[in-house]
Amino acid sequence: MRHASKISDNSHLAVMSSTPIQKNETHIHAEFVYHSIRQGSKFQSYDPICCSGPNCSTLHYEKNDDSMEGKHSVLIDAGAEWECYASDVTRCYPIDGIWKKEHREIYELVLEMQSNAMEQIKPGTPWEYCHEVAHRTLIKGFIKLGLFKEASEDEIFESGASVWFFPHGLGHLMGMDTHDVGGYPDYEDKNPMFRYLRLRRKLQKNMVVTNEPGCYFSPFLLAEAKKNETQSSLINWDVVEKYMYIGGVRIEDDILVTEDGYENFTGITSDPDEVAKIVKSGIEKGLKGGFHNIV
C-alpha cells in the first residue's frame, strides 16, 4: 500500500502539473491512468472521480466527461493499485492556479478538519469520535465564515445541519479493497451523521484507514435542507450562494495506525500554496510550448 500510494502521489502530481492540456474532465482521468500505467500499475483501485466546478459536489461522480471551460475548481479522487493492494487519494486545486477567496476558505477549512481528525488517530480511539471532531471543526468554520448563524456549536451539531455540507463518513478501512471489510458500518443508523460512516470501531495498530473530510455545496442536498425548518433556520442561505460555484472540496490521505499514532502513506502535497505553485508552473510550461495537446 505504501508503494501504491507512491504511484498515486506521482500521478496526482502529473495531473496538477498538466493543466494546459486539460480541457475536459476526461483528460484528467486519462492523465492519471497514463502515469499510473507508466509506473507499473495497470489497474486502478476504483474508477477515478474527476470533476470540475459544480460537478465537484457529487460524491461519487464518475461521468468524467464534462467541459472544464468557464469553471474554477477541480476535484480528483483516484488511487493506483499495486499487486492487488489499494490506495485512495483525493486532491483539489484551482484550474488557473489562483485560489478565489471562497474556494481557499473552504479548502483551508477542510484541511483543518483533516488535521484535527488526524491528531486523534491512535490505537483505542473510536473512529466515530474522529468523525465528530471533523464535523465540529466544520461547524466552527462555518460560523466564522457566516455560513451558519451564530448559534452555539452544540446546537448546530445536535441539529444535524452540518450533515448537508459533509454528508459522508470521515473514512474507511483500506487493504486489498478500497472499502475493505471489517468496518461494521450501520446503514440503518437513525442518525444521518453516522449512517454512512463505513468504520464503526476503535482504531487498532496496523489498521489502514482513509482520512477524507469534505465540504460540498450540492443543490440537491441543500434543497432537502431547506425542507427542515430547524436546520434551515441555522443556515445563512445568501452566504451559501456565494460558495456554490466551488461544488465541493475533499482532501484524502491513506493512514497506517501505528503503536502510538499514525504514519501517512500519502506524500503528494495538500498545502494550498504549494498546490497553486505546481499548477501555475504547469501553466507557464505550457505557454512555453512544453505541452502538446494531441487530442
Over residues 195-242, the pLDDT tens digits come to 999 999 999 999 999 999 999 999 999 999 999 999 999 999 999 999
pLDDT: which is higher, 232 or 21? 232
Mean pLDDT value of segment 149-168: 96
**C-alpha separations of 276 from 5, 227, 283 in Å:** 22, 38, 11
**Amino acid identity at 23:** K
Task: Give pLDDT, residue 285.
Answer: 80
Task: Give pLDDT, residue 284.
Answer: 86
Alpha carbons 264 and 284: distance in angstroms, whole number = 31
pLDDT of residue 295 exceeding 70, the answer is: no
To which residue does cell 501504491 refer? 4
SS3 92: strand
pTM listed for this prediction: 0.96
pLDDT band at residue 290 using 50, 70 and 90 as cut-offs:
low
Task: Give pLDDT, residue 288.
Answer: 63
Alpha carbons 168 and 110: distance in angstroms, whole number = 13
Mean pLDDT value of segment 37-45: 97
Task: Give pLDDT, residue 242.
Answer: 98
The strand pairing partners of 90, in sequence order, are: 77, 252
Alpha carbons 281 and 58: distance in angstroms, whole number = 29
Over residues 85-126, the pLDDT tens digits come to 999 999 999 999 999 999 999 999 999 999 999 999 999 999
Task: Give pLDDT, residue 287.
Answer: 62
pLDDT band at residue 293 using 50, 70 and 90 as cut-offs:
very low
pLDDT of residue 248 exceeding 60, the answer is: yes
**Amino acid identity at 263:** E
**C-alpha separations of 179 from 171, 197, 216 in Å:** 9, 11, 21
Mean pLDDT value of segment 274-292: 81
pLDDT band at residue 160 using 50, 70 and 90 as cut-offs:
very high
